Amino acid sequence: MGIVRQTYAIDAQGKILGKLAVEVALLLRGKEKIDYQSHLDNGCFVVVKNVNKMKFTGKKMEQKVYKHHTNFLGHLKISKMKDVYEKNPEKVFERAVYHMLPKNKLRPLMMKRLSFG
């Protein structure tokens, strides 16, 4: 008997980014299951819809910045959440969930089960 994976469809319309990301991260990790073990990847598939209609609290759109360094001198790439959200709202949500998952070899496998509809 293998791992039984369910598929959850979540509507993001009107929900707050952080609270929804926590909910999705727990489902991807499999913590709602009775047979949860931290060293196993037994989470579920999650499909998130209406990501472009999420709510943001506070001044996150203007103040939150994403940083990425290319490892070359002077190549620190800084972009505001507002700019990233306008181009691709799924990227903002994906990044929030990504940083809520454990930092080990299982994280990329869990992220593969997150999709947008």
Q: What is the pLDDT of residues 75-84, one digit of tens each?
A: 999 999 999 9
* pLDDT-derived band at 1, boundaries 50, 70, 90: low
Helix then strand then coil, % of the chain, to nearest 5:
35, 20, 40
CATH number for the domain formed by residue range(s) 7-55+89-116: 3.90.1180.10
Let me know: does 92 contact 85? Beta carbons within 8 Å.
yes
pLDDT at 4 over 90: no
* pLDDT-derived band at 10, boundaries 50, 70, 90: very high
Q: Rounded distance, CA 100 to CA 18, Å?
A: 10
